[in-house]
């Protein structure tokens, strides 16, 4: 490329980048605080080491979506669940009241299937889960998938109804059980905690 063409190419690239940025600003970054209910009490039993009569608890959090175009968005999510459960202490001791929390930090993608006021969508996420009791906490890998619908009665304000299923790998182990020329056999075991969450949130578009 000659020197005379370099400024022209740079100008074209600059215009293209600015045009793409303007398109993203026009679509708007979505910030969605939400509240809901998360089912699945296995985390509570995992933290306490005892059977717990608790199927779930309320959860709150926030979602940020950045548009990429054609209904595809990059999504980041944080959600927090806190529960107070009663744990058996022994045959001659009174039950113990314990506080337990479960947090999800996840990132992934969201695909919308319409561009009007009502927008159904599907999500796929990866991240970490932190579960904690009094004086102890652990971090584990988690995957999640879900879907729902966004409704926009106004251009910058909407409502999001969401359902999500999360699988947290509490324990995983892979071992080679045997090999023959060119082939090896593996044994994989995993303990997975499942949680199902339903939530509703207020979407605020920021340009």
How do residues 105-141 score in pLDDT, each as one tens digit? 999 999 999 988 999 999 999 999 888 777 777 888 9
pLDDT single digits (tens) 28-43: 899 999 999 988 756 5
Decide if pLDDT at 186 tops 60: no
- Domains of the chain by residue range: 26-166+193-206
- Distance CA(195)–CA(205), nearest Å, equals 29
Please check the confidence at residue 48 and state whether its pLDDT lies above 60. Answer: no
The predicted structure's pLDDT at residue 178: 56
The predicted model scores a pTM of: 0.72
In this prediction, residue 104 has a pLDDT band, given cuts at 50, 70 and 90, of very high
Tell me what percent of the residues of the chain surpass a pLDDT of 90: 43
Give the span between the Cα atoms of 119 and 151, in whole angstroms. Answer: 6
- Is 50 exceeded by the pLDDT of residue 184? yes
Average pLDDT over residues 155-179: 78
Architecture of domain 26-166+193-206: Beta Barrel (2.40)
Tokens of 129: 């889960």
First-residue to last-residue Cα distance in the chain: 38
The count of other CB atoms within 10 Å of the CB of residue 30 is 22
Q: How confident is the model at residue 19 (pLDDT cuts 50, 70, 90)?
A: very low
């Amino acid at each position: 490329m000659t020197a005379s063409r370099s400024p022209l190419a740079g100008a074209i690239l600059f215009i293209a980048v600015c045009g793409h940025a303007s398109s993203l600003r026009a679509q708007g970054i979505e910030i969605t605080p939400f509240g809901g209910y998360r089912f699945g009490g296995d985390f509570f039993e995992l933290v306490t080491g005892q059977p717990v009569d608790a199927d779930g608890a309320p959860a709150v959090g926030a979602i940020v979506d950045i548009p990429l175009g054609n209904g595809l968005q990059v999504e980041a999510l944080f959600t927090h669940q806190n529960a107070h459960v009663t744990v058996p202490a022994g045959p001659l001791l009174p039950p113990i009241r314990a506080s337990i929390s479960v947090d999800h930090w996840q990132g992934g993608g969201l695909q919308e299937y319409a561009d009007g006021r009502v927008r159904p969508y599907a999500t796929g996420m990866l991240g970490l889960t932190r579960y904690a009791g009094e004086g102890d906490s652990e971090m584990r890998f988690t995957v999640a998938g879900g879907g729902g619908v966004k409704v926009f009665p106004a251009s910058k304000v909407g409502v999001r109804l969401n359902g999500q299923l999360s699988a947290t790998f509490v324990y995983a182990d892979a071992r080679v059980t045997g090999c023959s020329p060119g082939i090896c056999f593996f044994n994989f075991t995993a303990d997975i905690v499942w949680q199902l969450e339903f939530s509703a949130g207020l979407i605020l578009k920021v340009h």
